[in-house]
Structure 1
Amino acid sequence: MVTNLEQKTAKAFPEKKNNLSVTRFLVLVVLCLQNSVFTVLRRYSQGVLKEKYSKYEVLLFGEIFKMVFSACIILMQDDRQRTLLRHVIFLLSSARKMFMLSLIYGMMNILSYVALKNVSAGVFTICAQLKILTTATFSAIMLNRKYSATKWRALLTLIAGVLLFSEPVWNQKDVLKTSLRTDEGGDLVLGVASVLAEVTLSGFASIYFEKVIKTDMTNKNLNIWERNIQLALGSLPVYIAFILADGGGEAGYLGGWSIVTVILGLLGSAGGLLVALSIKYGDSILKTLATTGAIVLSSGLDHYLLNGPMTAVMVLSGFVVIMAIFNYSLDGGVPVPSMMSDSVSKKLDGDKTSQAMVDEEVNVGHMSD
């Protein structure tokens, strides 16, 4: 459903709207490709090469690289003539909301760890698809977005398609047995509760980040690169704590690293930057669609490169996922938060009035001729 604001935007700034659509499309495509390559390379690293590096060290490396890359972009673009030290102090002093988001991500990692200790990969995969619905629900609640029945239907179809596409995971003969994990003292209720809490926090975190980026008037001059630095600064203590608690994993501190591990860290860092850009130029739901589409693409790459599973059910459900993504994307424009509508609408109305006055003068000139 296209809102009045979107209609005004399209009429007032057609070229700007087209450029934004192209940018949004490119960011989402690159995000989908990044997710796919990252997934396949991670499977190659751990499933084929059997590398024993600490995943928390890889995450920490990715955050450091993301922070350094963002700092370089800021230094090249910054025209405010601030010293690096003053800039860092300013970012730290205004990073309260980003630090809160970092803590949420840390909690999500803990919940994922608890969940995978108590339920099978199949149960985890099924429950994890609820991220799509939790993201849409928090978007409606926190940003007052209105989604048409077509979009809700597309999201439900997308979830069904992904669940069917995950058939090789959850259709194992021992899925029920492994989900109970009785031999390891696991608790199915605790595992399911953990994964449900994790997907709820995931939906909240996505919308919270989007809200901060698009509606935070307190620090409205902060760009997406500065927000990434704030988020990275908040994440560093979390990952360092995980590394210390894990003791560096099986290989010890900084053990088991290879060129593949470094590439994984760089790809993970790129994913964080692309997620931020996808939210800036689109919204959290479109970001979720891109990452969901990556499941299909990565499975295709996994099948052809690493002899991964590919069944008739997966092929058909892959088409269902793709059609659901197109169904959602082609149903009007990106919903606009109503909290932003009034100010933007007034600006558009003013521009429309000015344009009408110009058109009237031109018409009068033609009549006098």
Structure 2
Amino acid sequence: MSTNLKYLSLGILVFQTTSLVLTMRYSRTLKEEGPRYLSSTAVVIAELLKIMACIFLVYKDSKCSLRALNRILHDEILNKPMETLKLAIPSGIYMLQNNLLYVTLSNLDAATYQVTYQLKILTTALFSVSMISKKLGVYQWLSLVILMTGVAFVQWPSDSQELDSKELSAGSQFVGLMAVLTACFSSGFAGVYFEKILKETKQSVWIRNIQLDFFGSIFGLMGVYIYDGELVSKNGFFQGYNRLTWIVVILQAFGGLVIAAVIKYADNILKGFATSLSIILSTLISYFWLQDFVPTSVFFLGAILVITATFLYGYDPKPTGNPTKA
């Protein structure tokens, strides 16, 4: 049974990671009549859907009692304002990251994004060392060096790549690169900050996610008003929305929750497989279906190094000799 759950987890992880990136890329480059949907509004809708999903999970954990649900939300959120306010910082950063994801995939092909975004392993590791005093082993430090080398190869310019990017890309390669690098730093910091808060308190992860997404929706609405307020007043909040847009929003909303639910069945090696398969699938689909990416030998070398680094970072060597119980 556990083996079946592991492979099911692998399939879900690969599907979620690959489908979100590819559908978002396709939705941002698809040429249609009328206004394109606003990424700022899509992020807000995703946050609201996550709040609804987390409330449902708390309701389920409270034995499907509305009275118990109301008491938990009141006691854990309204009666603990300082604990709730702690989530304002990571929620703002996550909101920035989610918007940067749309910017990145409007300017970079899915394959290049998938490989480059693995730099979040590096930023998460560095923030873990500095913020929660996590110790990294020799294999992990080595993997970070390999990771940086691989990403450098992926971003290494070539004459054919420059010509292809002019013909195939829907935006600016530089803007996409800056967006994904900023997203890597924001992902690393916010992830470690959130982990630190979870370790310091006894509140459930679902309650913490409700608090996180509550502030995220507020920050998101502020962003809609500041950057796209004129367009919203002119064409409406849901301008340009179609079936594909809703698929992207739903994948973004529930993807993190699905991963959190299955991650306990997926060890580090399995997560490495999921990342590797997702990169390979993104490359193949970008080339054959989206036709917005032409891989080079340097890209393949960089992708192999990134995949190797992903496996190596999660490698946990077994101690030699007779292990003693702590």
Q: Same fold (TM over 0.5)?
A: yes
* TM-score (normalised: structure 1): 0.64
Specify the alignment match of 1:172 in structure 2: 162
* 2:218 is the counterpart of 1:237: yes
* 2:140 is the counterpart of 1:156: no
Preserved CA contact (<8 Å) 1:132 1:288: no
Specify the alignment match of 1:223 in structure 2: 204
CA distance in 2: counterparts of 1:282 and 1:138, whole angstroms = 24
DSSP 3-state at the match of 2:87:
helix
1:302 is displaced (CA, Å) by 1.8
DSSP 3-state at the match of 2:86:
helix
1:200 is displaced (CA, Å) by 3.4
Instruction: Please show how residues 200-219 of structure 1 align to structure 2 within 5 Å.
Output: 200-213=185-198, 215-216=199-200, 218=201
Preserved CA contact (<8 Å) 1:132 1:203: yes
CA distance in 2: counterparts of 1:144 and 1:289, whole angstroms = 28
1:135 is displaced (CA, Å) by 1.0
Specify the alignment match of 2:302 in structure 1: 317
1:52 is displaced (CA, Å) by 0.3
Specify the alignment match of 2:91 in structure 1: 102
1:72 is displaced (CA, Å) by 1.6
1:196 is displaced (CA, Å) by 6.5
Specify the alignment match of 1:63 in structure 2: 47
Aligned AA for 2:29?
G
Q: Which whole-Å deviations, capped at 9, do the CAs of 1:15-69 have from their partners, x for residues lacking one?
A: xxx96x9978865663343121111111222212447001111111111111112
DSSP 3-state at the match of 1:75:
helix
CA distance in 1: counterparts of 2:153 and 2:55, whole angstroms = 42
Q: Work out the percentage of aligned pairs sharing the same amino acid.
A: 29
Specify the alignment match of 1:343 in structure 2: none
DSSP 3-state at the match of 1:172:
helix
CA distance in 2: counterparts of 1:138 and 1:289, whole angstroms = 25
- Count, aligned residues: 297
**Structure 1 pair 128–75 and aligned structure 2 pair: CA distance change class (3 A):** closer
Aligned AA for 2:240?
G
Preserved CA contact (<8 Å) 1:224 1:276: no
1:207 is displaced (CA, Å) by 0.9
DSSP 3-state at the match of 2:238:
coil
Aligned AA for 1:205?
A
Instruction: Please show how residues 248-287 of structure 1 align to structure 2 within 5 Å.
Output: 248=231, 251-274=235-258, 276-277=260-261
DSSP 3-state at the match of 1:95:
helix
DSSP 3-state at the match of 2:135:
coil
Aligned AA for 1:71?
I
CA distance in 2: counterparts of 1:153 and 1:80, whole angstroms = 48
Aligned AA for 1:105?
Y
Structure 2 residues not aligned, in runs of 5+: 166-173, 319-324
1:84 is displaced (CA, Å) by 3.5
Preserved CA contact (<8 Å) 2:55 2:210: yes
CA distance in 2: counterparts of 1:256 and 1:169, whole angstroms = 36
* 2:40 is the counterpart of 1:39: no
Q: Which whole-Å deviations, capped at 9, do the CAs of 1:107-151 have from their partners, x for residues lacking one?
A: 5568x59x98xxx869x9798665332211111222322222222
CA distance in 1: counterparts of 2:256 and 2:291, whole angstroms = 29
CA distance in 1: counterparts of 2:263 and 2:300, whole angstroms = 29
CA distance in 1: counterparts of 2:264 and 2:196, whole angstroms = 10
* 2:129 is the counterpart of 1:140: yes
Which of 60, 72, 82 aligns to 1:87? It is 72
Preserved CA contact (<8 Å) 1:210 1:279: no
**Structure 1 pair 169–237 and aligned structure 2 pair: CA distance change class (3 A):** farther
Which of 68, 73, 86 aligns to 2:57? It is 73
Q: Which moved more, 1:270-279 or 1:200-209?
A: 270-279
Preserved CA contact (<8 Å) 2:276 2:307: no
* TM-score (normalised: structure 2): 0.71
Q: Which has the larger radius of gyration?
A: 1
